[in-house]
Structures are given as C-alpha cells and as structure tokens.
Amino acid sequence: DNTIMCWDIGGKEDEGKRLFIARGHDATVTCIYSDDIKLISGSADKSIIIWNKDTGEMIRRVVGHSRGILCIQSGPTWCVSGGTDGDIFVWENRDHHDDPDYESFKYKHRLRCPKCKITAIQFGQLEIISGDNHGWVSIWWIKTSENMRRCQAHHGPVTGLQFDATRVVSCGNDKNVQVIDIITGQILQTLRGHKAPVTAVVFDSKMILSSSVDGILRQWMWGSKSSCGRGDKIHTFQVGETLPNLSQKYDVAIPDIFKWNGIADTKKMYQGQKLIVRKGNTDLPTAAELAAQKKSQRKQERESRVLGMNMKDGHNLTTTVETALLGTVHPNINREILISSHLEIDQENIISSNMVEGSWGMSLASRLCRIQSDSTKKSTTKLHSD
C-alpha cells in the first residue's frame, strides 16, 4: 500500500500500538533505515524520502536513480543508496542542527555497476561494500568511484552484509553466510545450516548472528582458524605511500609485509587496500599465508601425481617390450599395433635383450628399429610373424 508504519514494542501498556503511518511514496516501499535523528526510505518509484522519526511527517523527497531503489543506509551527514539500475549514490548533507529541513541533501558520488542490481550496501569512512543480484560482493573506493575488488560470494542475490577492517560477512538467497577476507577477496569460510534464504547478518568480535526465512536465528562463534579478530594492526594503503615508508613507520620488515598480505607484485597494489602491518598473534598465519601454504601443497600433490603416472607408464613400457622380445606374445597378435604405441625406446637395450631369444629376437629388434625409422618419415610398416 506504499506506506510505512511505526509501532511501539517497548512498554507493556502500549505494546503493539501503532504510532503513525507515513504516506508519500507512489510505489512499493522497498527499503527503510532509521538512525538517531531521522527515518529514511527508498521505493520502487525511484525516490528517497526523509521522515521525522517521531511523527512520520515527510521532511524532504529527493530523486536521482533511474529505476527503483533496493537498499539504503544513512548516518548524521551521509546516505548511500543502491538500485535496480546498478547505480550506487553517495549523498551528503549538513548536520541536522544546521539544516533541519535537509535542504543541503544532495548526491556527491555515483558508483556504477553495469548489468546488475544493487541488493545490499554498507558505508565506511573511505569505502563502500555492495552486494548484487548475481552474488558478487564489491569493494568501492569512494573518492575515486573505483571498484577495487570483487568476489563471487553467493549463487544468487546478496541479501545483507557487514564489514570491518579485515573481513566482510555476507548472506544470500543461497542459504549461506560467507566470511570474506577484505584484503585478498578470498572466501575464508562458508557457514551452512539455514534451510531457506538468509535475510540479514550482523557480527561483533565474538560471534555472527544470521536470520532466515526458515524462521531461525542462528549464532555462529568465530573459529580459532579464522584470521579475523586476532588483533592484527591494519593499515589502509594511500596514494604516494611505499612499502619502505610503511616498514619504517610500523617497524616491520618489508618481506613480512609481502608474506602477511600475499603481495606478489607491488604494481598491483591499489588505493584503499587493507594491509596487515603487525600481527596480533605471531603463531597464527594470516589468510594470505594460509592461501600460499594451500597453493604449495596443491602444487606438490600435482607433481607427485605426475611423477607417479610417469613411473607407471615407464613400468608398463618395459613390461610390454620385454614380453614382445621374449616371444610370449601370441603370433596372431598384430605386433605393429603393440610396438607402434611405444616407439620411444632404447635400441641398445632392445638388441641386448634380443640376444637371449635368438633369431626371432634379432629379427624383431631389426623390425623395431625399422619401425622407428619409418615413423619419422610418417609412413606405415606392416609386420608379419616369422
């Protein structure tokens, strides 16, 4: 019905009492946010309305999005909104005491995410974290409107998220809660348990709380394996800074900065990147160190498998040639097929082995050599049993 209703759920006497109905939107109200000063809402009618949070009176109506608004967040002097047009608007205004009618409320930055719908948004001092309908979580640098990092976190829309200096926690329609390293963009942990889409998520230093359409509120305790919440010192990389500067500022070795943050190329470092410059617990590896260890283990496993396959192939080749040379292959078997698949052989070993067999062996050895010679000329030689 395009309205907003405010209810009193505090005192027992007035519990469940409706305080006011706010009317003003021309289409479905899709998102709402309240702070200590105001109530603010977004709608499918492409507008944002600022309300008096005590009376429900409309204070200001603004437009900017070309399509409906899906998510909104606000503070005393700022507001961010995301819509189905793929745009993120960063709005600003003067303090409420200096501008009670919000006449200074206007957008300052516009961030664009083509071919997507912004379904979740969180504002920071320097960056904005957003989620979209394709399951991507993006980190934006406000000053330059640059999309610094993206992570495919969910299969389907992102419905909620929260972040701090080291991590992003998001939830989605795929029933999962994801913990993402804000520095590397890697998924640290996937929390499964809800049986329906997860609609909201919040966390502190001790736990994560998630709510779902399944009607269950779940509590997730931070695990000891997580690199989050360890007391690491985080530095936000700025334009003009260098690793030697940070090394001197925080009294840390440059190789440690490389290792703790998984830096492979300094040319790929970007403004706003979160860097660990001091470990809170020196015994615990960072997310980048864990990723490097896993990568090294996978490489060793691949090399071991390849080595094992090569050894097995070498054994099969030796057995096949020895069997052929000793004359145990049935005379009716087409020896050309048997031998042509193993042309890369040592002729000296073949000849010495043939001495055991006698004339048939010598004949076979000569034929093997002839097959090798003919194969280089891309011709076919047919063998017949003696």
Looking at residue 64, its pLDDT comes to 92
φ, ψ for residue 245 (rounded to 5)?
A: -60, -45
The residue type at 30 = T
Start-to-end Cα distance in the chain: 96
pLDDT at 122: 95
Residues near 223 by Cβ (< 8 Å), separated by ≥ 6? Answer: 189
Token duo for residue 126: 């320097």
The Cα 362–Cα 277 span in angstroms is 72
pLDDT for position 221: 85
**What is the predicted pLDDT for the residue at 152?**
93
Among residues 89, 99, 2, 105, the alpha carbon closest in space to that of 50 is found at: 105
pTM of the model as a whole:
0.60
246-304 residue pLDDT tens? 999 889 999 999 988 888 888 888 777 888 888 877 888 888 888 888 888 888 888 88
The residues of the chain scoring below 70 in pLDDT are 11-15, 223-231, 310-386
38 phi, psi to nearest 5 deg: -140, 170
Q: How many CB atoms lie within 10 A of CB 343?
A: 12
pLDDT at 370: 55
| pLDDT (0 to 100) of residue 8 | 85
What is the per-residue pLDDT for 366?
Answer: 52
Helix 359-376 vs helix 287-325: angle between axes, to the nearest 10 degrees? 130
User: Rounded to an integer, what distance in angstroms lies between the CA atom of residue 243 and that of residue 248?
Assistant: 9
Residue reference for tokens 């795929």: 174
The predicted structure's pLDDT at residue 123: 94
Written as six digits, the tokens of 378 are 């891309």
Q: What is the pLDDT of residue 224?
A: 45
